[in-house]
Amino acid sequence: MGLPEFREGDDIGRLIADAAAPGEGEIVVFSQKAVSKAEGRVRRLADVRPGERARELAARLEKDPAVVELVLSEAERIVRAERGVLITETRSGWVCANSGIDTSNLEHGSVTLLPENGDSSARRIRASIAEACGASPAVVIADSFGRAWRLGQVDVAIGCAGLAPLDDWRGRRDAHGGELSATVISVADEAAAAADLSRDKDSGVPGAVIMGLDHLVTPEDGPGARSVQRPEAEDLFR
């Protein structure tokens, strides 16, 4: 997408509608950073006063105390804090490094926080696209998360609208007539990953449009990406 970097107050939906005119049945994937900027979820580290807990944790993990203060303020709880790594569960339920706070591709000394509610953001952007150009493509908001057991990050969905994030094949029959007992595909996450492949990390490009997946796009906004969060009672790694 040929768009400038977003600033606080930008109407992302309208800007994307003007620039890319996404159509019915398409999936528009935005980077978390673009959405966070438009929503004013940017903080200057110089404005942060780290508390005692943040200072202690920062010293132990060799991190910036101001960053750790923001991480804690965004966190519901700490999942792991060792070997220089700080993994939290955010107030909106994401388990990720540093509460999703991102220091790259920003003016020096600034960081982004995750959108307060990525699903609300996605719904708002979708409505705005529909108002601007009449089409209601699905909207996914993607962020790069690390994984247990595997190196590197992949983009996953932290917000979506117009896409059932989990494509549930359980109970359907496979090609040999056997019942699919465990097949639930996280299509929102796969769409986020696919979109990430199409753009360079330093390009400033705020997103990508995926075509050809019309069967996944729904008229209703649906349950959102938060429905991908594994309930704590079922989680073996928290």
Instruction: State yes or no: residue 218 binds its own copies (CB under 8 A).
Output: no
Q: With respect to its own copies, which residue has the nearer C-beta, 17 or 160?
A: 160
**Considering beta carbons, is residue 127 or 169 the nearer one to its own copies?**
169
- Of 47, 150, 171, 219, which lies in the binding site for its own copies, with binding defined by CB under 8 A? 150
CA dihedral 45, 93, 1, 109 (to 10 degrees): 10
62 touches its own copies by CB under 8 A: no
Going 75 to 78 to 80 to 82, the CA torsion angle's sign is positive
Q: How open is the CA angle 107-43-36, to the nearest 5 degrees?
A: 85
The answer to whether residues 157 and 191 touch, using CB atoms and an 8 Å cutoff, is yes
Q: Which tokens belong to 128?
A: 């705005």
Q: Pull the structure tokens for residue 192.
A: 């986020």
Strands 184-186 and 110-112: unpaired
If one asks whether residue 236 binds its own copies (CB under 8 A), the answer comes out as yes
Q: Is 181 in the site for its own copies (CB under 8 A)?
A: yes
Q: Kindly tell me which of 59 and 85 has the beta carbon lying closer to its own copies.
A: 85
98 vs 128, beta carbon nearer its own copies: 98
Backbone region of residue 119 per phi and psi (left: phi > 0; alpha: psi in -120 to 50; beta: other values): alpha
Largest CA distance in the chain: 62
The verdict on 238 binding its own copies (CB under 8 A) reads: yes
- Considering only residues 186 to 215 of the shown chain, the ones binding its own copies according to CB under 8 A are 186-187, 189-191, 193-194, 196-198, 201-204, 210, 212-213
Calpha distance 76→159 (Å, rounded): 18
Site for its own copies contains 76 (CB under 8 A): no
Which residues of the chain form contacts with its own copies (CB under 8 A)?
80, 82-83, 85, 87, 94-95, 97, 103-108, 144, 147-156, 165-167, 169, 172-178, 180-187, 189-191, 193-194, 196-198, 201-204, 210, 212-213, 227-230, 234-238
